[in-house]
Structure 1
Amino acid sequence: MNNSDIRIQRIDSLVPPSGLVRDYPVTEQLAEEVSRSRRTVNDIIRGRDRRLLAVIGPCSIHDEKAALEYAALLKELAQEVEDEFYIVMRTYFEKPRTVLGWKGLVLDPDMDGSYDIEKGLTVARRLLLQITSMGMPVGCEVLDPIVPQYIDELISWSSIGARTSESQTHRTLASGLSVAVGFKNSTSGDLTNAINAIRSAASPASFIGIDKHGNTVILRTTGNDCGHLILRGGDTGPNYYEDSVENAARLMTQAGLDPSILIDCSHGNSNKKPGRQKRVLRSILEQILWGETSIRGFMLESNLRPGCQSLGDDPMALEYGISITDPCMGWDETRTVVTEAYRMLKDARSDGRSAPIF
């Protein structure tokens, strides 16, 4: 009698990470560019670079063509504002779900419940290779602990979501990631889990995973010294206001951490209303100009076209360039918001108003 895998319908083989690396290799030049981008992100997070990290892009990516079009536009914008903002494209391929829903391009690339995961991994790696080859750094949310082995050498920044910051699996995973990692506060708005996660991820850990050849191994980490807090609001309301930021910085200091904070302009901070993201960003800049040093960057959810649409039963009927998860700002508004924020910050700094003293 076999008591194993009684609820497993079938087991399919999966290409090892080395197979995708062979098919979609990273050149030495691109590897050097990603390494430089990581150093820049780390310097911003650690306060060694005064620029703000700006993580901008779709809530989730489901369309290769639209993602590449968006990346080209974002790259052009990044060059225009690079002396104040260091832009990383938000390239999220995995979507955690409270109950049900589309779980992202990696797990279900055809958006039809077929779960062709090998295709999803292939599309994700190919897309990251194309975007980074444009000179556009990328950032991903890390959800499945196996997925980073397929794409990690292309990433410059990462995040752990609100639903997984408390997970010991993700804390130990973060301790071994090659990039800076931001932990979001809980969906309730509580900061404790995320701050504890930053502390945990900073310490060496060991966990079971796979190597590049698909072998089951024990991964032993050094700890991640570039952990930071992402304020994304919660059930009790926004947490981007001055008092909230000061409280977060105080709690991080009490925990023995360098207060390093990114503010998500979407989610609970905008009540998922894309047009309110500019209000959040304006408040962020005002706080910085009044001397708040713990804010190291911000996040914007943005796509080619504004709003969102339901996936429905026919993926072929989807409108081009519109999110199928959270609503996003359209590109025109994104460009206006970012360039106006840049001018506001640039003008204030040139006038010597970046840190008033009373």
Structure 2
Amino acid sequence: MNSSLSALPSSALPSANEPLTQRLPSTLQLKQHLPLNASLSDQVDRHRHAVRAILNGEDPRLLVVVGPCSIHDPQSALEYASRLANLASDVSDQMLLVMRAYIEKPRTTVGWKGLAYDPHLDGSDDMAGGLALSRELMREMLRLGLPIATELLQPMAAGYVDDLLSWVAIGARTTESQIHREMASGLPMPVGFKNGTDGGVGIAADAMRSAAHAHRHFGVDSQGHPAIIQTPGNPDTHLVLRGGHRGPNYDAHSVAQVRAGLAKQSIAPRIMVDCSHANSGKDPLRQPAVFADVLEQRLRGDRSLVGMMLESHLFEGCQALSANLRYGVSITDGCLGWEATEALLRGAAELLPGKSGLNPVISTLS
């Protein structure tokens, strides 16, 4: 059989059902257009180191990834980020707050796919504009001093923002994907794998083991060319518990079972609890109760609980995508409002020990 490329026809008309294509800028081109200066690049490195230190037990603070379910309005997202930056400074001795800047939204069937896909919210799918807007928005958040987190859903989109991120999530639907495990093995920041939608953690455990190894895989280089990518393996992965079809999995009994299961596979028991999704029964106003339960477990000595995640926006709830959107309200999953979020985190800071190991309330009284 002749496998030479020259054996292919020199020209051919596209078939009627062939998908249309439109070229995007390469990741290198967008990064050159919207560069990250040396100061901000150093800041990202420091934030990544801080997250790693928490995961490895070298930093006693609680890691909290908090922000909108997904970003659809840059103005309200920046207002939220500004508030979060002020709060992060106030509680920095007890917690490391990381801004949840999700620009891709996984869909069970169809719907709005996120800022990177449809920044105009009108179905025009201006992805070139969406990627540029997303990168520009994240740079502004970095300028506020915040570490940034996102879920990487489409591996081809990852290279447009990977230099801005201090923490990455791989979602429940993609944790089983070999492509995402290979991608995670080459990322230069900590990665949290969510348990499967059934609530089981076996798939996520397999993902962490896979991502820890080096891989060679198909990919695209920074100039947009197909390439063989060789990755070093990522030692900074951990588990994110988000509940499942059978209910929550943040309670002490479930966490103990998960911890034991990880230990049997020689996986470091580093666990973050997502206070939303099935853990809250998809009721955003139940997130504080989940947070309080997990915080109590940590205060009782469970050091495997290294972090938590909250879906939070300027105002609580959610709204359907329409021509008349309320400012600061999610258009995807329902969120906790800012006032409740701030009260929750400030209350937690009063209970948590600081970097010195002392409880702030006790040390004030002594």
Please state which band the TM-score falls in when normalised by the shorter chain: over 0.9
- C-alpha separation between the residues in 2 aligned to 1:106 and 1:132? 18
TM-score of the superposed pair, with normalisation by structure 1 = 0.94
Is residue 84–residue 99 contact of structure 2 (8 Å, CA) maintained in 1? yes
1:15 to 13, 19, 25: 25
Instruction: Name the counterpart of 2:3.
Output: none
Aligned counterpart, 2:57: 47
Superposed CA offset, 1:38-81 (max 9, x none): 00001111221111110000000011111110000000000111
String of CA shifts for 1:272-295, please: whole Å, max 9, x gaps. 111111111111111111111111
State the distance in 2 between where 1:186 and 1:298 align: 17
- CA displacement at 1:99 relative to structure 2: 1.1
CA–CA distance in structure 1, aligned partners of residues 330 and 32 of structure 2: 32
Alignment of 1:342 onto 2:349: yes
Displacement after TM superposition at 1:349 (Å): 4.8
Partner in structure 2 of residue 189 of structure 1: 199
SS in 2 for 1:218: strand
Q: Distance in 2 between matches of 1:352 and 1:66?
A: 34
2:229 corresponding residue in structure 1: 219
Q: Are the structure 2 counterparts of residues 63 and 47 from structure 1 closer, same or farther at C-alpha, using a change threshold of 3 Å?
A: same
Residue 328 (structure 1) aligns with: 335
* Comparing 239-248 and 204-213, the one that deviates more: 204-213
1:241 matched residue in structure 2: 251
C-alpha RMSD of the superposition: 1.8
Structure 1: distance between partners of 2:128 and 2:172: 27
Among residues 146, 165, 179, which one is paired with 1:155 in the alignment?
Answer: 165
Larger Rg: 2
1:228-260 deviation per Cα after TM superposition (whole angstroms, max 9, x unaligned): 000001111111000111111111111111100
Which has the higher mean CA deviation after the structures are superposed, 55-64 or 102-111? 102-111
Equivalent residue, structure 1, for 2:132 = 122
Equivalence map 1:142-181=2 (5 Å): 142-181=152-191
Q: Choose from 72, 93, 113 the match for 2:103.
A: 93
In 2, Cα distance between equivalents of 1:5 and 1:251: 51
Identity %: 44
The CA distance in 2 between the partners of 1:129 and 1:22, in whole Å, is: 13
Quick one: which amino acid aligns to residue 338 of structure 2?
A: W
User: Equivalent residue of 1:303, what SS?
Assistant: coil
Pick the aligned partner of 1:103 from 99, 107, 113.
113
CA contact (8 A) 2:320 2:331 kept: yes
- Please state if 1:209 is matched with 2:226: no
| 1:294 pairs with 2:304 | yes
SS in 2 for 1:108: coil
Do the aligned partners of 2:350 and 2:360 also contact (CA within 8 Å) in 1?
A: no
- SS at structure 1 position matched to 2:98: strand
* Residue type of the alignment partner of 2:348: A
Per the TM alignment, residue 114 of structure 1 is displaced from its structure 2 partner at its CA by: 1.3
Distance 2:114 2:275 in 1: 22
Match for residue 69 of structure 1 among 68, 75, 79: 79
Cα deviation digits, residues 138-175 of structure 1 (max 9, x gap): 00101111112111111000000000001111011110
Identify the residue that residue 278 of structure 1 maps to in structure 2.
Answer: 288
The verdict on how the C-alpha distance between 1:283 and 1:5 changes in structure 2, with shifts beyond 3 A counting, is farther
Structure-2 separation of matches of 1:256 and 1:352: 37
* Alignment coverage as a number of residue pairs: 350
1:32 shift after superposition: 0.5
Where structure 1 has 5 or more consecutive residues not aligned to the other structure, the ranges are: 354-358
43 and 119 in structure 1: CA distance in 2 versus 1, 3 angstrom threshold: same
Q: Which amino acid aligns with 1:257?
A: I
Give the match for residue 6 of structure 2. none
User: 1 CA distance for matches of 2:259 and 2:271?
Assistant: 8
Flag the 1:152–1:5 CA change in 2: closer, same or farther, 3 A.
farther
